Amino acid sequence: MEKIEEEKGINGNSNLIINTLLHISGRYNLDRATDMPAFQNPILSLQIFLLMARQNSLFKVKGTLDDVTFYERQGVHLVKKKTRLSGDRIKNDPAFERTQETFREFGTTNQVARLVRNAFPGLIKKVGDKRVPQRLTRVLFQIRKFDVTNKRGSRTAVIGLDTDSGKEVLTGFNFNIGAPLKQILPLNPVVDTSANTISINGLNPKEMLSIPSYASHFKLTGYWSRIDFLKDDYQSVRMSLDPIPLDETIQNLVLSPTESLTGDGRDLVVLLIEFMIEDAGILYPMKDKSHNAAAIVSVS
């Protein structure tokens, strides 16, 4: 950016330089802030105060020139135009009432997402997806729209999950977007909410599973969590099977908990499949977690 600033001093035409930089960055996708997910940056994403662009060329630029900033976020090179609106005005000016309502609902959704993540201890570490928090918040933010009891600004995903539509949206959420459970394990698990069991029948591991290179065994783990959103608390039990060889032996599998859940709350069931490698007769979890899959298979 130093060279660009020197050129500005020579010809005094900053607009020309800005246009040149935008041209260098090639074709880019312009997105008004209202089209962006609120969880990424509420102030930038809920109003059309900022015009943002993605840099798609081989030459990436970073820095600020006049009211245009070139920057990188999560590996993506972007361009944004500064806004003259302050965060304080957005939070307090009645003209932005709709934005303030969305802020409140987003804050509540963040709390719900945090509790859901915590209700499955150690699960996220077993999959190779670092964007689980953002993706889960996005889904729950959609679910809060099914809350028809409360007014805008007070709607919550907790009430949204009382509806069949809310449960349906959350069911199937994958904790590893790079390895969806249905792609790794094509059979639908059967969840018995009265017996608290997960069953998978007629599984031919070698023929049906999407197996990573060098894997010799797989392991299934079930997480059954009862979440009390009102008390900000949860109970969780884990059920797992011994590692199973990746051969053609037909498997009828049942995961059962060793203890029962008590109290009130929303029951969420997650099924995890992880792959292992055998070396000198000893089984080790594969270091590459990107092949492991886990998804919410039941919401009740």
Hey, what long-range contacts does 2-7 have (CB within 8 A, 24 or more apart)? Answer: 4/63, 4/65, 5/65
Q: Is the pTM of this model over 0.85?
A: no
User: Residue-wise over 32-66: b if at least 16 C-beta within 10 A, else e?
Assistant: ebeebebbeebbebbbebbebbebeeeeebeeebe
Q: Evaluate if residue 93 carries a pLDDT over 50.
A: yes
Q: List the domain boundaries for the chain.
A: 2-81, 113-299
Which residues fall within 8 angstroms of residue 94, CB to CB, at 6 or more apart? Answer: none
Q: Evaluate if residue 36 carries a pLDDT over 80.
A: no
Residue 9's pLDDT band, with cuts at 50, 70 and 90, is very low
Residue 52's pLDDT band, with cuts at 50, 70 and 90, is low
pLDDT tens column, 94-110: 778 888 888 899 999 99
CA-wise closest residue to 278 among 213, 215, 196 = 215
Res 179: pLDDT: 96
CA-wise closest residue to 25 among 13, 63, 6 = 63
Q: Evaluate if residue 218 carries a pLDDT over 90.
A: yes
Res 59: pLDDT: 63
Residue type, 294: A
Residues 103 and 108: their CA atoms lie apart, in Å, by 9
Provide mean pLDDT across the span 81-91: 74
Give me the sign of the Cα torsion angle 120, 122, 126, 132. positive
| CA-based max dimension of the chain | 78
Res 68: pLDDT: 79
Average pLDDT, the chain: 82
Provide mean pLDDT across the span 20-25: 43
Q: Determine which of 91-105, 166-180, 279-293 has the lowest per-residue pLDDT on average.
A: 91-105
Query: Is 100:88 a contact under the CB 8 Å cutoff?
Result: no
Res 22: pLDDT: 44
Q: Evaluate if residue 13 carries a pLDDT over 70.
A: no
